[in-house]
Structure 1
Amino acid sequence: MAERVTAKSVLRKISQRHLECQICNDRFVEPKMLECSHSYCLKCLQQLAETNPTSQTLICPVCRSETLLVEKGVFELRNDFKSTLMLDEIEQHETELRNQQENQPPNQEYVSKCSKHTDKDVIMYCDSCKQLICTTCIAKDHSMHPATELSEVLDNCKKKANEIFAEVEQHYNNFKIAMQDIELFHKTLDSMFAATKAKISKKADNEIAKKVAKIREEENKLMLELVQTFKDKSTKGETAKATNDKEMTKAQNVKVVVTQLMDKANFSENLLLIEKVLQDLKEYTKIQPKQVTQEQAYIDFEDDQESFGRLRINAKQKPEGAASAEARMPICKPKTKLTQKLWTLKAEITTYRPKSSKQIKTVCALSVDSYCNSDIVCVIKSNTLIKISADSIGKSKVIPKELSIKGLTDPIRVAVNKNDELIVVGDTAVKIFNRKYKRLHQFALLVGQPFDLPSCIAVDDNSLIAVGYHQIQIDLHRQDGSFFRTLLAPGIGHYLTIHEQHLIYIKTLAKKKLVSIDYDGSVVFSVDISQSWWSRGLCCDKDGSIYVAVWDGESSSGDIHQYSPDGEYIGCITKGCTYPHGITFTPAGDLVVATQESVQIYCHG
């Protein structure tokens, strides 16, 4: 039997078909619209986004279309105003139906009683007092008041209601027009966004094409020059070879002629000719062979930051760009501060996700280094390791996770060699892991008096590992962990770096100094530094410039200062690093600072 159609059943069907979330199967609550025009509750979309926190897109549960999330995620999605208005309208009609049902009179005819004279029926409406009255009321209190019959009052009410309904309908149409305008606004915005995005991409493609064309033009010029140089050098070698072949053949021929003349019976008749030929042969011994040296085969390409580069055709030739580069290089006078604009904060990572808990925690970084692809690995205060992917830097939705490495407990210091092997200092040993975190080697540390736990670690370009013991010495170990050498380093502090086989550290015993020694223990330089600073990090860039993170011991703010490769002070490059604990450079040239509250990444320029 078909269901009886009522206003209530119609409202219920409209709600089920158009106003229910396909995730929670309930009516929309703060509906948000995806790019595919399907709508869902705000809370449901937030829960859906949390199932894959690393993704920047949402997949529609109905049509599987992708929607890109911007900075604020789900909150930035468009509100579904149309569904919201329909919900309000449905709920209003449902309320009216409930009220109507509650106030519906019984089937039998019902006549209202007077509120004052309860045994009397109301028969009129007093226009002055705005109330229903009975015959007693009329006689006693309302005899002089104008009154209207109830049927007429009802007609007037219906008329007034119809007028208001017309106004409401007009107002509702205004809302519909506004919604249409909003829909048109979003379509226009989407169209403008797509068109602008295409223009930016086209401009970028054009600029890239121009640069590629220019580089290819420079390449072709150098290739032509290289081919010509090769031909000239090759011709020189071939000419020398042909000349020497000719002289060698001539000598052999003369020897044959002399031998033949001396063997003949008429030797006496040929004696004068023989002597002349022998004299010519004697002169031949004075001829030097044509020589070409290995240096003359030298051809090389000289890179240049200012241009594409140039050919070098002589190994002893000074690079053509060296003099001009020296002339262009700014002179850095001691104690000349560089402007803070040279380094700007690119990104800051303040939280991480522990492996044993879903609760996000604050990063307190103690030691930091970088892989070849600029991924960052960091020791944090809870004696755990986290990895920050280079691709995730600057993306607010991406939270680094704690690394789970078998056989590694309580890391203290960390370093990465050129083979992307992770070197971790623990309580009793230094352990070396490959990029898949499989342990390759390990070696024991010096423990017990007078040795404390290692205060610092560094690794050079040949994967030689340097372990510093506070105030005492530096031990050098090969890549496989085998011991190589001990170097005395009295006063060595908590930070150590290496550049071109020079060990650089901060001496904290007595007067504070920036010290550099070679692998034989000879002092390269030892310069005084500010005695009011507490050193909180040390590293070198690829050119050998030295960077020292410092703290004044009073405020929470730290600074980073720069020194030349020979230890000459240049100046402060950035301020405002909260309690720094370590610094390093990524291969991409970014400066990474481990602080008590975050990991900060600075870019140059």
Structure 2
Amino acid sequence: MKKYGLQRAPLYFEQFQICSHCCRPSATSLSSAKGTNCKPIRSLAQLVSTFSDWRAQYLKMAEAALPTKTTCKISQALIECPICLKWFINPKILNCHHSFCQKCLQELVFNQNPKTGFIICPECREKTKIPVKGVSALLNSFFLSSLIDDVINLEGPNQRPKTESSKCQKHTDQELRCHCDTCDLLMCVICAFLDHKDHNLTKTTDCVKSFRQAVEAKFDECHRHFQQVDNSINKSDKRLQLMVDRTLADILAKEEEKVAKLRNESRLLRERVTEIGQDRIKEFKSIRSSNQDKMNVGKEIVASVNHLMLHADGVELLDLKLKVMHNLTFHKELQFQTVQRKKSFIRFKCHDVTDADIGEILVEWEVKTEFGKCGEGEGEFKRAVNVACFSDGDIVVCDYERLLSTFTSKGSYKSTGVQSGTEDGKLKRPFDVVVTSNDLLLVIDGPDVKVYDRELRYIRQFRPSQNQVAGQSTLGGIVVDKKDRIAVVDLKRKVISLHNMDGSIISSIHHAEIGNPCGLSVSSYERLIFTNYHNMKLVCVDFMGNEVFNISTSIGGKPAKPLGVCCDDVGYFCVSVHCGERGPCEIHHYNASGEHIGCLARGLYSPQGMTFTPTGDLIVAERYSVKILHQ
């Protein structure tokens, strides 16, 4: 009213006239208004009434103009359901983020195969699983609902199409204008008055407003929770980065420490090897010098004899014959020194890298542990012919007279005998024993190979010579490689047969040097090494039967009889040899090519079967006892 100067109307009303048609003030007099289109206002009440009518008309015109601006900014595609092409009513969101009316989706589900269990989006064909409670349980699109409500508020409530759900089912001409908070139901005014008069009732619009506020409050709460979680994740992320950097630094520091320690250990080992080599080279030089001095004495004697032979006549030579011939036996008195072959052996054995060391220098072996004696009591032997070792170091001793006995890695007695409920599982006269990679025990018992678990419980058996006539086969040794392929030697047939764990045959290898007795071993190079006791031979063949080497065995240059043999992890092998039937016994060391390295042990009584422990020690069955040797 200030704009039109109406605040001064009571004082200067006579100076203005206002058209009741256009509501515009004029400075003309009342008398001059006669004959014009404007109708003069003659009282203040008439002025207020006229202005109120004009304001209502102006607002109506403004409201009529707004929808045009709103609808031109909002695309109809945003507020129309792609199925019914009408404004969304209770829009639901699918997994692909496309929205449709709830009723349209219900009709879509009703018309498809009920066993499908999915809603196929009409827009992109992506599948959305139907909730257990039906389409109504899908996510609501509050954004679309709010958008449509805003458009309706701007363009007028009559713009939204009426739906059947907005009418009362009992009073079909009545709108659902009330909400019972007590029953959580929409109803018309009549139902509210008749059936819910004592309940807490609110207008539908107020209820919707309250609901939207609650939704917004929930969203705000969710957003606050998200912010808290996100802040927590950010903190965790920063803390993780710090911890990762710190851990990497610790690992690098430990790496440097370990590397420095390994380098120091390597330096000490290299210095030790160099020292051993230098000491032995000095020893060799000293022996060579001593022998050279003795040889020089011999040369002088030979020179004297040659001089005599040139200048003396025949009579003098015959007179000096005895003296000359005696002088020519000087080599017996010189006593040239020799070098033990073991002095030329030195090797490095690598260990798994630990805090202790990286490996050791192999020079000589000594007895670490010895257990057992002749007898029939616990831990005693009548004839210990072979040994095997489990992965934990426990030892199994095969006694040709007293079945099997088990001991700890330190030689403490555990048990004797096998456990079997059948006659097949009982051992009659075991001759050889070996352990597989998964700690199964293979035992030669007569013509059969019997299988037991590590508790000596019988499992099964197989016969390597199934098609042979009884009495024509004598099994004399068994070994197993890292792939659990079993090799069994048949002494009578002079054949080594290769088998799978189930006993099925892989191949057979015939060789004329197989004799009785015969020690057998297998190397990591798929080679079989066996001994010929009477011919004093050591023979190596590959799995195809091709001979790799065939060498003679000896002690101090004298032929010696080999018996037991076993290979280590790198293909080197040990052989027990002795001179005569009960002569001194030694264990000799050979490389993978069959070249003699040196003597590992002396003074043994009657070593037969041998095997290595998981830690690299050598276990030897010595008829009445068992010895564990280490470097």
Q: Which category of TM-score, normalised to the shorter sequence, fits these structures?
A: 0.3 to 0.5
Q: For CA contacts below 8 A with separation 6 or more, give which structure has more relative contact order.
A: 1
- For normalisation by structure 1, the TM-score amounts to 0.43
- For normalisation by structure 2, the TM-score amounts to 0.41
Higher-Rg member (1/2): 2
